[in-house]
């Protein structure tokens, strides 16, 4: 992969990169199409990264469909698919990790210790291997995008960093590989995340500024749609620094993580 990237760069080709864990949906494909607008060659990686899963998480059963993914990438206009093996990425004597401090202590980082160390490490490695000129991530994993952009700047990668909008189903459910775990019934209940975010947006438009009141309404909407839902967090944060906000001012994103019948889903929406 490194040799190929060097040859492409020597030919004057601009390389776009979209890292994924596979089981691609329209959200992933939109990132490939976005990269294609600015790059001559778009490389997509498929790698289910064991380092970002805790022992009690769903690494073993995380959905996989390599053949189907490759067909989708080709149809979306992707040029190259990079599918490394875990033993190639992490040999037995592997001991080096990348850690972004501060930004990884909140939101997902507060409930999934070590998760972002695995994310930043694999993405840094992929950047070193693929050597892209630009990279595209999705807004759905908002905190991940903020963390990885910080890493890109701090480590001096000469890479243009693009964050593309969240892609949703017609009814508003954010597209996610984990949606595969949902049954027809639980799929309807999973809309509780979108309904809660839409409620927050509506309250802000109505000039409600009390974050505690907004959060209370969001929790009520979630439980009305899915009475058995387990809310990991609802958080209001600065879009650039992830610092918690107690007042509605400036660029704020409301993020939430909810377990719907055991399926952990995340979503977010910009409020201003």
Q: Is 90 exceeded by the pLDDT of residue 253?
A: yes
Task: Please give the pLDDT value at position 53.
Answer: 96
β-bridge pairing 160-164 and 134-138 = parallel
Mean of pLDDT values over 151-178: 98
Task: Please give the pLDDT value at position 131.
Answer: 98
Mean of pLDDT values over 228-243: 96
Residue 25 a catalytic site member: no
Residue 131 backbone zone (phi > 0: left; psi -120 to 50: alpha; other: beta): left
Q: Is 80 exceeded by the pLDDT of residue 148?
A: yes
SS3 string of the chain? CHHHHHHHHHCCCCEEEEEECCCCCHHHHHHHHHHHCCCCEEEEEECCCHHHCCCCCCCCCCCCCHHHHHHHHHHHCCCEEECCCHHHHCCCCCCCCCCCCCCCCCCHHHHCCCHHHHHHHHHHHHHHHHCCCEEEEEHHHHHHHHHHHHHHHHCCCCCEEEEECCCECCCCCECCHHHHHCCHHHHHHCCHHHHHHHHHHHHHHCCCCEHHHHHHHHHHHHHHHCCCCEEEEEEEEECCCCCECCECCCCEEEEEEEEECCEEEEEEEECC
What are the pLDDT digits (tens) for 89-143? 999 999 999 999 999 999 999 999 999 999 999 999 999 999 999 999 999 999 9
Distance separating alpha carbons of residues 98 and 109, to the nearest angstrom: 15
Task: Please give the pLDDT value at position 2.
Answer: 97
Cβ distance 139 to 145 under 8 Å?
yes
Q: Is 90 exceeded by the pLDDT of residue 250?
A: no
- How many percent of the chain have pLDDT more than 90? 97
Task: Please give the pLDDT value at position 235.
Answer: 97
What are the pLDDT digits (tens) for 27-68? 999 999 999 999 999 999 999 999 999 999 999 999 999 999
What are the pLDDT digits (tens) for 185-202? 999 999 999 999 999 999
Q: Is 90 exceeded by the pLDDT of residue 247?
A: no
Task: Please give the pLDDT value at position 20.
Answer: 98
Annotated catalytic residue, options 25, 28, 115, 261: 28
Spell out the domains of the chain, with CATH numbers in brackets.
Answer: 2-164 (3.40.50.620), 177-270 (3.30.1300.10)
Task: Please give the pLDDT value at position 35.
Answer: 98
Task: Please give the pLDDT value at position 38.
Answer: 97
Task: Please give the pLDDT value at position 249.
Answer: 82
Q: Is 80 exceeded by the pLDDT of residue 272?
A: no
Task: Please give the pLDDT value at position 206.
Answer: 94
Provide CB contacts within 8 A for 206, sequence distance 6+.
none
Task: Please give the pLDDT value at position 124.
Answer: 98
Between 141 and 249, name the one with better pLDDT: 141
């Amino acid at each position: 992969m490194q040799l190929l990237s060097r040859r492409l760069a020597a030919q004057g080709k601009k390389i776009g990169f979209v890292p994924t864990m596979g089981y691609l949906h329209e959200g992933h494909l939109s990132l490939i199409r976005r990269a294609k607008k600015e790059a001559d060659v778009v490389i997509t990686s498929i790698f289910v990264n064991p380092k970002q899963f805790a022992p009690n998480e769903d690494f073993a059963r995380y959905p996989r469909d390599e053949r189907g993914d490759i067909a989708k990438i080709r149809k979306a206009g992707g040029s190259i698919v990079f599918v490394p093996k875990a033993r190639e990425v992490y040999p037995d004597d592997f001991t080096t990790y990348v850690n972004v401090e501060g930004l990884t202590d909140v939101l997902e980082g507060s409930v999934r210790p070590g998760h972002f160390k695995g994310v930043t490490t694999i993405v840094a490695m992929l950047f070193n291997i693929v050597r892209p000129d630009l990279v595209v991530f999705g807004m759905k994993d908002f905190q991940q995008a903020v963390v990885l952009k910080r890493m890109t700047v701090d480590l001096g990668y000469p890479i243009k960093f693009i964050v593309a909008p969240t892609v949703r189903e017609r009814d508003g459910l954010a597209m996610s590989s984990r949606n595969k775990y949902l049954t027809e019934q639980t799929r309807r209940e999973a809309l509780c995340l979108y309904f809660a975010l839409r409620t927050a947006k509506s309250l802000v438009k109505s000039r409600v500024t009390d974050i505690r009141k907004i959060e209370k309404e969001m929790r009520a909407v979630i439980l009305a749609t899915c009475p058995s839902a387990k809310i990991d967090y609802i958080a209001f944060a600065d879009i650039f620094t992830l610092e918690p906000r107690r007042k509605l001012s400036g660029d704020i994103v409301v993020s939430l993580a909810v377990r719907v019948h055991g399926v952990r889903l995340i979503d977010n929406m910009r409020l201003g």
